[in-house]
Structure 1
Amino acid sequence: MKLKLSLLLLLASGYATQVSAQATNAWKTATGGGYTYKYVTGDPTHSRFYTLKNGLTVILSPTDKQPRIQAYIAVKAGSKTDPADHTGLAHYLEHMMFKGTDKFGSLNWAKEKPLLDKIDNLYEQYNSTKDEAKRKEIYKEIDKTSGEAAKFAIANEYDKMMAAMGGQNSNAFTSFEQTVYTEDIPASSVDKFLTMQAERFRNPILRIFHTELEAVYEEKNRGLDSDPNKVQEAMFEALFPNNNYGKQTTIGTVEHLKNPSLKAIRKYYYSYYVPNNMGVILSGDFNPDVMIKKVAQNFGYMQTKPTPAYTFAPEVPIAAPIQRDVYGPTPENLTIAYRFPGATTRDARLLSLMGSLLTNGKAGLFDLDLTKKQKLLSAFASNYTLKDYSVLLLRGTPVKGQNLDDVKALMLGEIEKLRKGEFSDDLIQSIVNNYKKSKIEQDESYNQRASNLMDDFTSGVDWRTDVATINELSKVTKAQIVAFANKYLKENNFVIVYKHQGTDKNIVKVDKPTITPVEVNAGEQSAYVKAINAMPSNAIQPVWLDFNKDIQRATAGKVDVLSVQNKDNSIFRLYYRYDMGSWNNKLLPVAAQYLQFLGTDKMTSEEISKAFYKLASNFNVSASTEITTVSINGLQENFGASVTLFENLLANCKPDAEALKGLKARLKRSRENLKLNKAAIMQGLVNYAQFGANNPFNNVLTDEEIDNLKADDLVAILHNLVNYKHTILYYGPQTAAQTGVTLATLHKTPATFAAYPDKKVFTRQKMDKNMVLFGNFDMVQAEIQWIRNEDAYSPAKAPVIELYNNYFGSGISSIVFQNIRESKALAYSTYAFYVAPQKKDDDNTFVAYVGTQADKMPEAVKAMNELLNNMPESEKGVLAAKDNIRKSIETERITQDGILFTYLAAQRKGLNYDERKNTFSAVSKLGFADVQAFASTELKGKPFTYCVVASDKRVTDDDLKKYGELVKPDMKQIFGY
């Protein structure tokens, strides 16, 4: 489960829709399978909109690209409709909707129910009691009674059921005005899925509550450790003093988290989880005439009921900048936010266009003036659309030597240019062309289709308007945008949030309550779930890749061309792939980054960016440790122009001293900021654990080497790139032969390729004793990773590794999750899995993770170690894991350029076949004994390196030395500079 609080970037939104300028989009009514539905003419997704007799909205968008279905069950209720005295309640309920009903999730409902009723009443006493001593006594009784009730509960039975039917990404999220339950299932399992979902929403039982509440505490602590989260909360609080967008947060206050009410949660469920306030959104491989009958039969029992209306006083216009200051350990940045009308208005659609005028990745004002010219380390603008209001967000990060007021001046300077119309006359049409391309790509994905439909449903956006948006925006004039900008972007009508790098003195940790581990009854199964498992399902035959048949081959001059033909639309993706990277030359990634700031003798860097954007094309050069990839994508009609534009840039880019000066400053500031990133610190520790003090992570330029960078050297690397051996990959409408002929002219290569520079070799360490690597970071939580270098890669082990990972530590239904989170409430996030290498000559690696409160770290480490040394046995769990693997593989379709990259990945492992075929065949013959033997051989009693990132104020050296020899590398040792 997760909070949907991330900022939504424009091109991922549902507003970009493909429709010709001449098309008209209108709602029409039709009948199929005995049910009446509405549809929008000219809708490329062919979505149908039904309203059942009980008011339930059903949206179906069929596509047969893969034999799977993306399902969303959405409720139009979120934190905005939380009671003021029980904030976070919608999110609580989201977590509890995975706990089952009176029919499943229980071994004996008759014996469980009285205990759950008692827990209900105990929480009410707990909430109404102010005396701390009495509260502790009541909590002891809650803990005791919860343990008794858990003896009759089957933890995670819902998740096990979904895994057994081949479900993927079983999850849910809560936001301001939506709570959404998401599943990705095989099309063959839809009857089981709908039966399970209908039961799930019939009578949810709030069992195993106090351990789940602790998981929510952990989620709150993660939020307290997240500076971006704190910035967003401060921004919304200032923007919306009258609306619950700003008055309360999705996860709730610490005080309300400490005083939950099961009765209030249940009241919320009965108020908002009613059919006329819910939607079932499905996209995938099905016949909609058949599917609607199935949905109606399963959800027809639900009874319509009026829902409480949400009302609020309109926000008063902002007359002067409202400033907020946020402190935390991560790098400083600045956010400016303007308030706009809500998602259903035309102004919200114009806002999306205006956001792209500022940031579109290539030719926006921020892109060209702030990022391209390196005036800021990063800068972007994006629109955040909600039902009642929308927001234009500006975010900037300073380069070295700047303060946040400098960032403010630069970003507001671009807003002033927008208000004056100081942007290219043809930029709006270029944006529309890129929207069209984006929409084509979105419509290829059944997941993205469902997501767009779901977002429109919960925010109240008319799908017809969405479908027609591109046509609408293509008619918008520059004068209209300038007028729109002047209407809403005044000199002083914004909120500004200064994110300072420093100690947050206001942070309040959610304290750890005493929790006795509860039973999870992992091997048990309710009669209801047994009945669902017994339901018939249509068999789906797996489809294996045949690298000889599925990949076309040709040549372009002396370069091999591997191709998969796109027979669906006009999108192309082209790659030049080199078997060299930073291990061959540490300057290669720097040269790749430098290219984006360079021009030629005929075009400036800004003109090149504009030209690519006008073509609705993109290019990128990326250099990893061992692979460098040039990628170009766009519309096939612009293939020649796009490739020519890139080839000219690569061959004729010229040194730019000013750009290099800016790049050096950018590199240094980025490196400083990386040291303030806990994930980067952990990555450095993990590399240290695997390879020792000199490792791939700190194989970077020194500060002195950055100072001595020369423009001529970097440009020489770019000019010479084409002289090294590489492979061309193409996915697009042309055949391989046609592509080869075209590129033989456009992509000039030498008669003989140069040899790759010698590659630096890193050797994995043998782990013969327990060690602890510690990185200090100012945070509430402690994060621990267990790292072990294993033996050499062997394809024969792939099936048992897949089964071990699925059963033991990957996913909500795994042993690790059930034990550490469900039973012991020691973490919000935890996992463990065995990782195969990317190359046949490399070793396997084992990784485990727990993110927990610092004061729970000893218990969490102990719990994981117990599982690693004594893996619990559950034959039903192994069977469910096997079912999940086989059904996932049965319904997986590797398509498009995924075929090419799967082939190249197989080659690196020394394989010439689809590895999934062996796993699919072998896994059915494996059992718990095989998994146990694998775990005993590879992990039981073996030494590990513990990588720990935590605050040294919360975790002591003595604590850490209990687990092994303690090493505390400083930041220079971790990062290499």
Structure 2
Amino acid sequence: MLLFLILGVLSGPEVTKYVLDNGLRVVFVEDHSAPVFAGVVQFDVGSYLEHPGITGVSHLLEHMLFKGSKKLGTIDYGREKKIIQRIWDIYEKLPYADSLERSKLREELKKLKEEEKKLVVSEEIWKIYYRVGGANMNASTGNTSTQYFLLLPSNKKEVWAKIESDRFQNLVLREFYSERDVVNEERRMGDGNPSSVLWDNLIATAYIAAPVRWPVIGWESDIMNITPQEVMDYYKKNYVPERCVIVLAGDVYPEKDIKLVKKYFGRWKKRKPPLIRITQEPEQRGTRRAHVEFRATPRMGIAFHGPYYGTKDYFALELLSMILTDGNSSIMRQELVDKGIATSVNSYVMDFDKKVVSLMTIFVNPAPGKNFKEVEDSVFSILESIKKEGISQRSLKRAKNNYKKDILSWQKNVLWMAIGAASNERVMGDPEYSFKVLKTIEEIKIEDVMNVLKKYISLDRATIVTLGGEK
């Protein structure tokens, strides 16, 4: 029997939530302004579930889920299955084979891959969706979630339900090794991007224990050594209804459309996900520093552990971040960029969905002729000055207005509306949680912002990573 709840609306569209017998949560967000809907399938699966040896498996799995199923992406799965298994067997034998046997195995592998290609219907999922008017089809993997989304005409909901339910229940690791190479090439491209390298080193230095310290894409040695069986085991363990939220937003009719969702997703077998123990970050005792040798314009990242997401302190820290760097009139833009100390400065707060403590970051690009020490001294001088002099009511009001504007702007786009509702439901158990955030933001006072500044932001709590230029 379905459980459902019509949720009260606070400055937003009508939202209806159901929970299927298998534990799958389904949310409808109504907006009948256009005959389209956004479909989002979001899993509580990300790099936080990984460990050294299989880093990047969540992202690799995301790639594999576009390869199809036993029905999609193949003209004869029975024949293809045998070829896939033999390819896996050969890859397992290759590292241990002598040169003569290795040569024979590689020749067989080449022939098998040619046979496999004849049976594969490349990108069939994409082709079906685009044929029926789909748009914005994509997916993303993060530290704490993986999501799949697209826009479709509202009369194509059954096409969506049929495809999505099939691929999430009946995954086939088709063309696994070639896709693994694609992912590793993506990893290498990131290794050539100074901003990506700075971020990887900053988060790995800021967190010494919590499982968000490795890159979402994974380390190269893990990507290139992970086996199909390890990926399949990870999929079966974690891609379960209880860890999934589905959102349909736009031209949807909950009472009618839930029957369609139940028809296809109700078949998904209920499986209890394993207990998750997340290693929590110990208290930081002293400044942490690292320098990355890299041929690039010098840049610096500074990070501070913050409060958990959902607390009043967390949202006060978000407002502090905006006061510091959001807009040309922000404090650090005026003190660093306008005065020629830096060419750019930005600040963000990573929340990690309450799983581990948040991280406030400040990224600064030194101006020509300015070294890292000068920039660092300037940043901390500004922070200490604010602690003594405080912030203005005007700065706080501007930050609040911008924060609220960002949240409300999501409601103007059905895809962003759907993604936001999915995240809210997955993390907080409330698809309309963003509207509660608006209330919390409004209640925050100058004292609250000053308290988090003094509590979390100081040199002895900082992680400082520099890249390029001189140490």
Using structure 1 for the length normalisation, give the TM-score.
0.46
Amino acid at match of 1:175: G
Say if 1:421 and 1:482, in contact at 8 Å, map to a contact too.
Answer: no
Say if 2:139 and 2:149, in contact at 8 Å, map to a contact too.
Answer: yes
Say if 1:343 and 1:460, in contact at 8 Å, map to a contact too.
Answer: no
Instruction: Provide the C-alpha distance between the structure 2 equivalents of 1:251 and 1:126, rounded to a whole number of angstroms.
Output: 25
Cα displacement string for residues 414-449 of structure 1 (whole angstroms, at most 9, x for unaligned residues): 221332343213322232233333333321111221
Say if 1:417 and 1:423, in contact at 8 Å, map to a contact too.
Answer: no
Cα displacement string for residues 339-398 of structure 1 (whole angstroms, at most 9, x for unaligned residues): 113323333222211211212214432133223444321112111111222111101111
Residue of 394, 398, 401 corresponding to 1:433: 401
Instruction: Provide the C-alpha distance between the structure 1 equivalents of 2:107 and 2:308, rounded to a whole number of angstroms.
Output: 47
- Give the match for residue 124 of structure 1: 92
Residue of 151, 154, 173 corresponding to 1:184: 151
- Give the match for residue 245 of structure 2: 279
- Give the match for residue 226 of structure 2: 260
What is the CA distance between 1:270 and its match in structure 2?
0.6
Aligned alpha-carbon RMSD (Å): 2.4
Matched residue of 1:255: which SS? helix
- Give the match for residue 472 of structure 1: 440
What is the CA distance between 1:58 and its match in structure 2?
1.1
Matched residue of 1:60: which SS? strand
**Residue 335 (str. 1) matches residue 327 (str. 2):** no
What is the CA distance between 1:165 and its match in structure 2?
1.1
What is the CA distance between 1:137 and its match in structure 2?
5.9
Instruction: Provide the C-alpha distance between the structure 2 equivalents of 1:126 and 1:40, rounded to a whole number of angstroms.
Output: 60
Instruction: Provide the C-alpha distance between the structure 1 equivalents of 2:375 and 2:295, rounded to a whole number of angstroms.
Output: 19
* Larger RCO of the pair (alpha carbons < 8 Å, separation 6+): 2
Say if 2:5 and 2:17, in contact at 8 Å, map to a contact too.
Answer: yes
Matched residue of 1:149: which SS? helix
Say if 2:209 and 2:280, in contact at 8 Å, map to a contact too.
Answer: yes
**Residue 316 (str. 1) matches residue 289 (str. 2):** no
Amino acid at match of 1:286: V
For 1:546-561, list aligned pairs within 5 A: none
- Give the match for residue 91 of structure 1: 59
**Residue 202 (str. 1) matches residue 169 (str. 2):** yes
Q: Mark the structure with the bigger radius of gyration.
A: 1
Cα 1:98–1:326 shift into 2, 3 Å: same
Matched residue of 2:275: which SS? coil
What is the CA distance between 1:196 and its match in structure 2?
1.3
Cα 1:68–1:264 shift into 2, 3 Å: same
Instruction: Provide the C-alpha distance between the structure 1 equivalents of 2:50 and 2:105, rounded to a whole number of angstroms.
Output: 26
Cα 1:493–1:85 shift into 2, 3 Å: same
Say if 1:380 and 1:394, in contact at 8 Å, map to a contact too.
Answer: yes
- Give the match for residue 379 of structure 1: 345
For 1:538-687, list aligned pairs within 5 A: none
**Residue 154 (str. 1) matches residue 121 (str. 2):** yes
Instruction: Provide the C-alpha distance between the structure 1 equivalents of 2:253 and 2:241, rounded to a whole number of angstroms.
Output: 23
Say if 1:243 and 1:313, in contact at 8 Å, map to a contact too.
Answer: yes
For 1:670-819, list aligned pairs within 5 A: none
Say if 2:422 and 2:431, in contact at 8 Å, map to a contact too.
Answer: no
What is the CA distance between 1:455 and its match in structure 2?
2.8
**Residue 108 (str. 1) matches residue 104 (str. 2):** no
What is the CA distance between 1:237 and its match in structure 2?
0.8
What is the CA distance between 1:152 and its match in structure 2?
1.3
- Give the match for residue 483 of structure 1: 451
Instruction: Provide the C-alpha distance between the structure 2 equivalents of 1:478 and 1:133, rounded to a whole number of angstroms.
Output: 74
Cα displacement string for residues 171-198 of structure 1 (whole angstroms, at most 9, x for unaligned residues): 2111112111121212121111111111
**Residue 346 (str. 1) matches residue 308 (str. 2):** no
Instruction: Provide the C-alpha distance between the structure 1 equivalents of 2:167 and 2:179, rounded to a whole number of angstroms.
Output: 18
Cα 1:132–1:82 shift into 2, 3 Å: farther
Instruction: Provide the C-alpha distance between the structure 2 equivalents of 1:279 and 1:216, rounded to a whole number of angstroms.
Output: 26
For structure 1, which segment, 368-377 or 355-364, has the greater mean C-alpha deviation from structure 2 after superposition? 368-377
What is the CA distance between 1:131 and its match in structure 2?
7.2
In structure 2, stretches of 5+ residues that fail to align are none
Cα displacement string for residues 889-948 of structure 1 (whole angstroms, at most 9, x for unaligned residues): xxxxxxxxxxxxxxxxxxxxxxxxxxxxxxxxxxxxxxxxxxxxxxxxxxxxxxxxxxxx
Residue of 141, 153, 160 corresponding to 1:193: 160
Identity of aligned residues (%): 23
**Residue 367 (str. 1) matches residue 333 (str. 2):** yes
Cα 1:261–1:138 shift into 2, 3 Å: farther
Matched residue of 1:210: which SS? helix
Instruction: Provide the C-alpha distance between the structure 1 equivalents of 2:99 and 2:7, rounded to a whole number of angstroms.
Output: 59
Say if 1:420 and 1:482, in contact at 8 Å, map to a contact too.
Answer: no
Say if 1:97 and 1:204, in contact at 8 Å, map to a contact too.
Answer: yes
- Give the match for residue 424 of structure 2: 456
What is the CA distance between 1:35 and its match in structure 2?
5.8
The aligned length equals 468
**Residue 410 (str. 1) matches residue 404 (str. 2):** no
Instruction: Provide the C-alpha distance between the structure 2 equivalents of 1:352 and 1:462, rounded to a whole number of angstroms.
Output: 21
Cα 1:137–1:180 shift into 2, 3 Å: farther
Using structure 2 for the length normalisation, give the TM-score.
0.92
- Give the match for residue 869 of structure 1: none
- Give the match for residue 64 of structure 1: 32
Cα 1:101–1:376 shift into 2, 3 Å: same
Instruction: Provide the C-alpha distance between the structure 2 equivalents of 1:297 and 1:43, rounded to a whole number of angstroms.
Output: 32
Instruction: Provide the C-alpha distance between the structure 2 equivalents of 1:126 and 1:454, rounded to a whole number of angstroms.
Output: 43
Say if 1:76 and 1:177, in contact at 8 Å, map to a contact too.
Answer: yes
In structure 1, stretches of 5+ residues that fail to align are 1-30, 503-977
More helix by share: 2
Instruction: Provide the C-alpha distance between the structure 2 equivalents of 1:463 and 1:365, rounded to a whole number of angstroms.
Output: 34
Instruction: Provide the C-alpha distance between the structure 1 equivalents of 2:150 and 2:273, rounded to a whole number of angstroms.
Output: 26
- Give the match for residue 15 of structure 2: 47
What is the CA distance between 1:38 and its match in structure 2?
4.6
Instruction: Provide the C-alpha distance between the structure 2 equivalents of 1:298 and 1:337, rounded to a whole number of angstroms.
Output: 45
For 1:206-225, list aligned pairs within 5 A: 206-225=173-192
Cα 1:427–1:326 shift into 2, 3 Å: same
